[in-house]
Each structure stands twice: as C-alpha cells, then as structure tokens.
Amino acid sequence: MLTTEQYLEIERAAEFRSEYYNGRMYAMSGASFRHVIITGNVARALGNHLHNSPCVVATNDFRVRVSPGGLYAYPDIVVVCGEPQFADNMTDTLLNPVLLIEVLSPSTEAYDRGFKSAQYRTLESLQEYALVSQSEPRMEVFRRQPGGQWLFSEYVGWDGVCVFQSVDASVALSQVYEKVRFDEPPEPAATHL
C-alpha cells in the first residue's frame, strides 16, 4: 500500500501516467485516434469560448485530487475557473475543478460511468461532469443542483448543442465530432481498476 505522498513522488518521476486509489496505483492505457480527436475538439471548442474568461481548459495530462486519501485521476478535460488551488507547491495536482469531461472508451466506460462518476461528484467545487460518446454523436452532462442533487441532460445528433452551465458555454456536437469517422471499429475493450 502506497501513501499519497509516495504515489506523487513515483508519479512525478514516471514516464507513463497512473491513477491512484486507496493506496494502489493503476496504469493508464493509451487512447485511440478517435478518442484523441474528440478530446482535442472539445478542449479547443471550450478553450475558444472561454479565452476571455477567468477559466482555463486543460487536457488529460493534468491530475485532479478527488479526495485526499482516495482517488487521484487524469480526466480527459478539466476546467478550472478563478484561482486554481493545488495539493502542494508543485502545481500539478488540481483541487478545485468546476467541470470534468471524460471521453468514453469500451475499456473505461463502466469505470467512468460508475465508480469514477460517483467519486467526482464528491468534489465540492465540481458543478458539472460530462461523458462523451465515441460511438455516436452524444454527450451526457450531470449538473449539480441546489441541495446537492445531480440533474442529467443529454445532447444527441449532429445538430445537438451541449450546454455547460458551469462555464456559460455551448458546444455544437458537429464541432465535437469534426473529422471523426464512425464507420471504423472502436478500440477493443479491456479491464480497468
């Protein structure tokens, strides 16, 4: 069993990224070409929309501490608004994201929808969590409501426009899936955590 301090020391020196949960490190697999295109498209669309705002968009190389002794993760896209708060002076582990986005893969979909989603929703700063499909033009957004409940919204089809209320941004699904070919087979399924 590793402490969070040991994990961070190993992770900061590692060539490949690993997530951490409850004393164990979990190696992250590489992404498919479709995954990379979708992640880049969403990050670019959000970044362009938020360029004159106090918000910053970061991609999957930016670690988020979900809970002090529990989960440390690398969401596909992270948005922080205002002053970022970090776990330590290394400024590589964010504590206060307002929006987290995961692009679903056959190998991680159950994990992203289940365990990771439940963990993310415990973050006090988090206002929205989104899941982006790789198999069709579809985005699902979970929004924190007053009183702590979460509201589910779904945006489907090439004409759909996903609304991120947490950062006052709208992203057209035609932008999200630009240059994505659905006639190619998705990446193979694998196990995670």
CATH number at residue 156: 3.90.1570.10
In a domain, 71, yes or no: yes
CA angle 53, 167, 40 (to 5 degrees): 85
User: Between the CA of residue 121 and those of 11, 40, 43, 78, 96, what are the distances in Å?
Assistant: 24, 24, 21, 14, 12
In a domain, 19, yes or no: no
| Distance in angstroms (rounded) separating the CA atoms of residues 156 and 124 | 28
pLDDT tens for the 193 residues of the chain, in order: 899 999 999 999 998 899 999 999 999 878 889 999 999 999 999 999 999 999 999 998 899 999 877 899 999 999 999 999 999 999 999 999 999 999 999 888 999 999 999 999 999 999 999 999 999 999 999 999 999 899 999 999 999 999 999 999 999 999 999 999 887 655 554 444 5
In a domain, 192, yes or no: no
Domain count, the chain: 1
